[in-house]
Structure 1
Amino acid sequence: MKINAFADVSLRAMMVLAAAPAGGLLTTSAIADAIRTPYNHVSKAMAKLRELGMIDVERGRNGGARLSNAGRSATVGQLLRQLDPRQDLADCVAADGPCPLINECQLRAALSRAREAFYRELDGIVVASLPTTGQMTPVFAAIGLRPGL
């Protein structure tokens, strides 16, 4: 199973926010630098995370983002379900339109069950519990901060 790039960026942003000093705000730019991802990609991820209630954002000169209470308790499985809206793992298309096998396709049903099993396995992992001091120290050093773990 492979997650999409958007979900990957979103999860990495959540991990950085989880490791931020208590009460501290991080800008989208700082998060982009920390995870070495283009600002535009991180900006879109942050907008979605805000829409989902995973982060709180303060605007203004000293503004930034922090994990919300919901974000602190969100699991990887929960987030992936919300961040990857694809209904089917297979494209189910042929060169000239829909796959001719699509009616009563048992493969699509099996792939759907496998995807849900993947998410269920990740439902027990809280995103905020993932970052470690050893992992985040160099990440935060790159943006001039110390992790708050």
Structure 2
Amino acid sequence: MKLSAFADVCLRTVMVLGAPGVGQLTSREISELVGVPYNHVAKAVVELRTLGLLEVTRGRHGGAQITERGLAYSVGTLLRSLDWREDVVDCTTHDAVGNCPLSAGCRLRSALKSAREAFYASLDSLTVTDICENSPAITLLPFPTVRHNA
């Protein structure tokens, strides 16, 4: 199962903000920490705020901070909400002029949907806190020396 680039950026963002002791960080700071362009992180922050995982303060001393709900959020649920694809495969012909001739009675399509759901289900018991606490990857990040606290 391959995650979308957007889901990856969202996961990186919540992992950084969910790290113990991290207060508010700007989208620019998050961008530098996770090695992703600023505009991608900014879009992720908007989506995560919409989902209720982040609180965002605007202005000079603003930034994003993870919420209690965000820390308790299931990784599987988060990935489901970030996956806007209806199907795992694109059932059109290679030249995109029509549907696959096998799609009428195709069993593969539903099997792949089931496999995707099994993938997400395997992550349902894992919370954002679980992937942040005692994470060697997160402890190696060069967090800004001055953190913005709400």
Normalising by the residue count of structure 1, what TM-score does the alignment of the two structures yield?
Answer: 0.89
Cα offset for 1:27? 0.7
Q: Which residue of 2 aligns with 1:11?
A: 11
Aligned to 2:18, the other structure's residue is in SS state: helix
Q: Structure 2 CA distance, aligned partners of 1:45 and 1:17?
A: 12
Q: Which residue of 1 aligns with 2:139?
A: 137
Q: Structure 1 CA distance, aligned partners of 2:115 and 2:17?
A: 30
Q: Structure 2 CA distance, aligned partners of 1:63 and 1:44?
A: 16
Aligned to 2:140, the other structure's residue is in SS state: helix
Deviates more, 1:80-89 or 1:91-100: 91-100
User: How many aligned positions are there?
Assistant: 144
Q: Which residue of 2 aligns with 1:126?
A: 127
Q: Structure 2 CA distance, aligned partners of 1:88 and 1:3?
A: 13
Cα pair 1:33 1:143 within 8 Å, conserved: no
Structure 2 gaps of 5+ residues are none
> In structure 1, what residue type is equivalent to 2:35?
R
Cα pair 1:14 1:128 within 8 Å, conserved: no
Q: Equivalences for 1:57-76 in 2 at 5 Å?
A: 57-76=56-75
Normalising by the residue count of structure 2, what TM-score does the alignment of the two structures yield?
Answer: 0.89
Q: Structure 2 CA distance, aligned partners of 1:77 and 1:10?
A: 13
Q: Equivalences for 1:1-149 in 2 at 5 Å?
A: 1-19=1-19, 21=21, 24-94=23-93, 95=95, 96-131=97-132, 132=134, 134-139=136-141, 141=142, 143-144=144-145
Q: Structure 2 CA distance, aligned partners of 1:70 and 1:142?
A: 23
CA change 1:20–1:29 in 2 (3 A) is farther
Structure 1 gaps of 5+ residues are none
Cα pair 1:28 1:43 within 8 Å, conserved: yes
Deviations for 1:16-56, whole angstroms, at most 9, x for unmatched residues? 0001526x211111100110110011111111111111101
* Paired-residue identity, %: 47
CA RMSD of aligned residues (A): 1.7
Q: Structure 1 CA distance, aligned partners of 2:63 and 2:14?
A: 13
> In structure 2, what residue type is equivalent to 1:125?
L
